[in-house]
Chains A and B, each alone.
Chain A
């Protein structure tokens, strides 16, 4: 076993660059692909567990009051019904990402419309569903509670407040300035796989087959919710049908399945239906953002103000970190920032892909476009003029930052120089416009463990409870191990998603690849050391390739060297001093061409390009796909996505995929992505940063800025649906 490696110094050795196998960075296919394209990858609700019965949850029909189930006895007598379970341990709120303890519990009082308050268990799914629909749920002693941020109590997040210099004065003295308010609505992660769990007990030991992103935390959340020791809980999530934040923390179905399985003495499967996913998992908070930008005559920022209001349930501490990238993206000596949290009785607000930057950078990038227009500057040029030499608040250096190159290269690839003037280009009924935006996202390294075993036959196995939620973990961990140990990709087996394995970072906050990849790297480095010792050579003189070791002008197969033994090592990475010593972030730029129909106001994205820099790219194919996904989230945010709340009771009006619109294939052109070569020695032992969320952080603004270029209309109330455009079209 190796000591934990703490990231206290930059990893300037860049050992992965010395390896001969040539896997890391290559656009290799996903090893999980054949299972996924044949429908044989097993997702949570697909395990055929012996003796399993089915649970269907029911919801609170209001936002406050005591929950009354008035016909429980009658429902319990329906065909096949085994039990109607309402238990104090069931969750009121889903757990926030990384909570590591039980979230707010208690199904006896409603806090928001749609809260899940009971589970009906029956022999078959059909019986359970019918019985659940027959259960009468009412609320006694309901109160009048705030459901809209406008009418709610607001708490200033004092730790998020910044007042540097004098922004008011900078605004007064500015040659060019903007002072604008934008709003973004609530968003839903809407993973294609609804949340589902199968709970089975053996005595006091619980196995939960679930769909979760961060298993080591989820195990503790589940154990704490149930009041049992974490050692008694095992969670399996080898395949996760999308998460996007909504499966970071434990969701209500997991605890319901566990208590129901105990109650009926049989394994219980509980799958949320789509409406319940919208009503009772996690939403991104809506935001109201005021941007004040002050620039001198040359367009250099002298002031930067960003003040935001977000919302959450009473008692929840998560406040959408809207300002996160505003602290370091652009220059401006006079800075003012604040974040207010309104307390509303809507479903819980938490992480949805790139919490903070997804909506924060987007609005900053709209304001920058407005400033460019006011100053008569090319939007790319405005950004180039405002790249700060060091962090504009702390003065720290940036770890690596190919921001300028991303702007310039992206503009070149897209053909930005061909940009029309505002309202200048028209093709028949279509008004054509170009828009661009910067991308920025904080970078984080998380503690992560992985075990790598070099087997005696010269193959290897990687094991960690890390998850692959579509992000490519199965691919990249095998590539790192293959390179370090000199093995073809097919000779490395990657086993994930089981809390019995070493604890990984989990998939969230874009840290999964760099963190779990570093753990695998460290384990392999220890194996290399051991091989070198055995051969009595310096590890740096050991060349491993195609399951052979070359050293001192000799070549031997790994199998011969191992002589029937195997070498197992645990890699364990922890964040350290490099997290704070420098400013770590990822950067990029988006360029979009839209057509807005002059008659209907419909916007079509005709072309979109992104150039990104995120440290070492571990797999060019899966990294690109992550960027495609992020950019498409941006298209959704710009044009269609909005959780609509009824202002009377806060219920989700559009709680299904027909009414919460996410982009369909026809909404997305053949996007292009460029990944810039970069090594970030400060970020992680493998010099990689996060890329899973970078693609969304500002993407929507490229589209709404293009709409302005096409039409002259600024939509400051997302999404830019046709009703907001049509009255003002030329």
Chain B
């Protein structure tokens, strides 16, 4: 799917960092769930709704999460950023639906948006510039605005 997006549809917002599901730079949402586009085939998603970074906002019309990434400097080189933002979008949905993670203390009570909880859930998206603390802050800021 990643090559289909980048080479055949010209949607280069989804990045190829490893092509092996190791880095998360190609994260897109399929029917609202985040997946690595490099680990699936386009032909397996007939009828599915695929949302890439191109579907989340435009440079002159950023969504709140994108705005927060800019404000909090949640990136440097920017190559992992579309994947981070797609991943964070779906991740916030997972939290709002009450999905626990490895670090969630109480599996019944739902997760709070602590740095630890966000870091855990965003660890499938590598950032070599290491904007991690700012990514966490951007997600907290954006989620706080939505709440």
B129 to chain A, nearest CB (A): 5
CB-CB nearest in chain A for B124: A664
Say whether A665 contacts B60, CB under 8 Å: no
CB-CB nearest in chain A for B57: A38
Tell me, in angstroms, the Cα distance from A471 to B22 when the chains sit together: 25
Say whether B60 contacts A34, CB under 8 Å: yes
Say whether B128 contacts A662, CB under 8 Å: yes
Q: Which stretch in B80-88, B92-100, B104-112 binds the other chain?
A: B80-88
Given A274-B20, A629-B129, A632-B130, verify A192-B77 contact (CB < 8 Å): yes
Tell me, in angstroms, the Cα distance from A62 to B54 when the chains sit together: 43
Contact with B along A113-151 (1 / 0, CB 8 A): 000000000001110000000000000000000000000
Tell me, in angstroms, the Cα distance from A314 to B11 when the chains sit together: 43
B80: chain A residues within 8 A (beta carbon): 192
Q: Which listed residue (A42, A271, A665, A671) contacts B123, Cβ 8 A?
A: A665
Contact with B along A665-682 (1 / 0, CB 8 A): 111111100000000000
Tell me, in angstroms, the Cα distance from A266 to B47 when the chains sit together: 36
**A205-234 interface (Cβ within 8 A of B):** none
Q: Which stretch in A239-247, A296-304, A524-532, A579-587 binds the other chain?
A: A239-247
Among B15, B17, B77, chain A packs the most CB atoms within 10 A around the CB of B77
Q: Is B37 an interface residue (CB 8 A)?
A: no
Q: Is A101 an interface residue (CB 8 A)?
A: no
How many interface residues does chain B have, given as a range? 35 or more
Q: Is B34 an interface residue (CB 8 A)?
A: no
Say whether B128 contacts A38, CB under 8 Å: no
CB-CB nearest in chain A for B79: A241
Q: Which listed residue (A41, A469, A657, A665) contacts B18, Cβ 8 A?
A: A657
Q: Which listed residue (B58, B66, B82, B123) contacts A664, Cβ 8 A?
A: B123
For the residues of A in contact with B, the DSSP-based class is loop
Say whether B77 contacts A37, CB under 8 Å: no
CB-CB nearest in chain B for A240: B77
Contact with B along A618-639 (1 / 0, CB 8 A): 0001101110110111000000
Given A30-B73, A34-B59, A471-B76, verify A656-B131 contact (CB < 8 Å): no
A471: chain B residues within 8 A (beta carbon): 76
Say whether B16 contacts A271, CB under 8 Å: yes
Q: Is A39 an interface residue (CB 8 A)?
A: yes
Q: Which listed residue (A40, A125, A192, A670) contacts B128, Cβ 8 A?
A: A192
Say whether A668 contacts B132, CB under 8 Å: yes
Say whether B7 contacts A662, CB under 8 Å: no
Tell me, in angstroms, the Cα distance from A360 to B56 when the chains sit together: 45
B52: chain A residues within 8 A (beta carbon): 39
Say whether A38 contacts B115, CB under 8 Å: no
Say whether A40 contacts B59, CB under 8 Å: yes
A34: chain B residues within 8 A (beta carbon): 59-60, 62, 66, 70
Tell me, in angstroms, the Cα distance from A658 to B53 when the chains sit together: 24
Q: Which listed residue (A29, A32, A470) contacts B129, Cβ 8 A?
A: A470
Say whether A191 contacts B18, CB under 8 Å: no
B57: chain A residues within 8 A (beta carbon): 37-38
Tell me, in angstroms, the Cα distance from A125 to B127 when the chains sit together: 26
Q: Is B45 an interface residue (CB 8 A)?
A: no
Q: Which listed residue (A39, A41, A657, A666) contacts B14, Cβ 8 A?
A: A39
A280 to chain B, nearest CB (A): 16
Say whether B17 contacts A193, CB under 8 Å: yes
Among B10, B69, B73, B125, chain A packs the most CB atoms within 10 A around the CB of B73
CB-CB nearest in chain A for B82: A39
A670: chain B residues within 8 A (beta carbon): 115, 133, 136-137
Say whether B77 contacts A657, CB under 8 Å: no
Q: Is B90 an interface residue (CB 8 A)?
A: no
Q: Is B49 an interface residue (CB 8 A)?
A: no
Tell me, in angstroms, the Cα distance from A626 to B131 when the chains sit together: 9
Tell me, in angstroms, the Cα distance from A669 to B136 when the chains sit together: 10
B128: chain A residues within 8 A (beta carbon): 189-192, 242, 244, 629, 662
Q: Is B1 an interface residue (CB 8 A)?
A: no
Q: Is A273 an interface residue (CB 8 A)?
A: yes
Say whether A36 contacts B81, CB under 8 Å: yes
Contact with A along B1-39 (1 / 0, CB 8 A): 001001100111111111110110100000000000000
**A649-699 interface (Cβ within 8 A of B):** 656-658, 662-671
Given A30-B70, A666-B123, verify A38-B56 contact (CB < 8 Å): yes
Q: Is A46 an interface residue (CB 8 A)?
A: yes
12 chain-A/chain-B pairs, Cβ below 8 angstroms: A34-B62, A34-B66, A37-B62, A38-B13, A38-B57, A39-B53, A125-B7, A239-B78, A244-B128, A470-B78, A657-B22, A665-B132
Please report A residues at the B interface, Cβ cutoff 8 Å. Answer: 29-30, 32-43, 45-46, 48, 124-126, 189-194, 239-244, 271, 273-274, 469-472, 621-622, 624-626, 628-629, 631-633, 656-658, 662-671
- Known: A274-B20, A622-B73; 5 extra A-B contacts, CB below 8 A, are A34-B59, A241-B15, A657-B126, A662-B126, A666-B120
Closest 8 pairs between A and B when the two form their complex, measured CB to CB: A39-B13, A241-B79, A36-B78, A470-B76, A470-B77, A632-B130, A33-B70, A39-B53
